[in-house]
Amino acid sequence: MNNRAKRIGESLGQLEQSKSGKLTVADVSRLVQMQREPSASAYASSISAGQERVGIFRNQALVFVHDYNNTFEGAMQRATQVSFDLQFGGVLIPFTWPSQGTVSGYLTDGDMALKSVDALVSFLDDAQMTMPDVKLHFLAHSMGNQLMLRTLCKIAKRKEDGPHNFGQVIAAHADVSEADFEKLTMCFKERVEGITLYVNEKDTALRLRCGGFQCRAGNKARGYSAADVIDTTAMSRGFWRTLAKGFDHDVFVRNPLLFGDITRLLMVGQRPVDQRTQEFRPKKDDKARTYWTYDKSFDPAAQPIEDAEQQVTMSAASIFQPVNRAGFAGGSRS
């Protein structure tokens, strides 16, 4: 708890590195232990063995799909950091795809993400066959949503399939067109427990992609037919304050209120959003579609507090506190 509270107070969302900027051998051992399994069944067996140590997230897994401009090492770091900050005790499954690992590789990365759909479909089919009791949740960041959403739609279109054990689908800063997001989520909405999109209209990376405007699902606050949309724009720190820290393109891993909301979503799937997290209030877009936006007047942690240590304690405690501060109300939507 002390390490997590320290990250909340000082370095939430930061990917820890050695002074050289590279992972040391000790860092790799601490962040993630890797071993090659000879088959899907062997992988499933190792997953099952690990479930004996799991508490509230027993028989649940989180599939994380990374953004563009990522190396394998960077993707593993981000996945591990997200799992740690979410206090997700289930199985972490980072799905890595062949990003070029460079800013200039954007177009190539987009092509590679689309070409990786069949690989992710194959993995999920193996998972369903070898570990059917493990519920799979999904979290994708930015361009990773191109891969995740298309994969889930492709599986949903197969009429001969039985149901996969899919849980929550979470799209963060989705680098997907609005039209594609609507179409793809409608395609698979009946095959998952729920879909949530976190957007930020001050996301500098997506604004540059759009020529300074809002043209992607991840930087346009509006409602969708099949997804709950949460607007995090009011949580932005601005261009200059985030110049070296993500350009507001990763707000979902930098705010304790947000990863608290994601944790509760994975735990109980409670809806509507404001019943799960009181700081998000419903709002209508120009077509009378509902989405939710952050209102700091409902956020105790946003109020002035003289004791900085108390502020960190409140933020850490809020992760597991539902809206009524008394207990969880409601269950998952199937």
Q: Quick: pLDDT tens for 43-89.
A: 666 666 666 666 678 889 999 999 988 888 888 888 888 888 888 88
* Identity of the residue numbered 73: E
- Kindly list the strands in the beta sheet with 60-65, ordered across the sheet, starting from the edge strand earlier in the chain: 91-95, 60-65, 135-141, 166-172, 194-199, 228-231, 290-294, 280-284
pLDDT class of 296 with cuts at 50, 70, 90: confident
- Please tell me the distance from the alpha carbon of residue 5 to that of residue 260, in angstroms, as a whole number: 13
The answer for residues whose C-beta is within 8 angstroms of residue 271's C-beta and 6 or more apart is: 194, 228, 330, 333
Task: Give the start-to-end residue ranges of the domains of the chain.
Answer: 2-14+46-320
> Which residue's entry shows tokens 């799992």?
83
> Which residue's entry shows tokens 């409601």?
330
pLDDT for the residue 1: 46
Mean pLDDT of 271-276: 94
- Please say whether the dihedral angle defined by the alpha carbons of residues 312, 202, 291 and 295, taken in this order, is positive or negative: positive
pLDDT class of 39 with cuts at 50, 70, 90: low
> Which residue's entry shows tokens 């900050």?
85
Mean pLDDT of 137-142: 95
pTM exceeds cut of 0.85: no
* Identity of the residue numbered 175: D
Mean pLDDT of 244-257: 69
CB atoms within 10 A of CB 154: 17
CATH 3.40.50 corresponds to the domain 2-14+46-320: yes
Identify the weakest region by mean pLDDT among 85-94, 172-181, 207-216.
207-216
Nearest CA-CA partner of 67 in 107, 114, 113, 15:
113
The dihedral region occupied by 69, where left means phi > 0, alpha psi between -120 and 50, and beta the remainder, is left
**Angle CA(42)–CA(47)–CA(50) in degrees, nearest 5?**
130
pLDDT for the residue 300: 63
Mean pLDDT of 297-317: 51
Asked whether the predicted pLDDT for residue 333 surpasses 50, the reply is: no
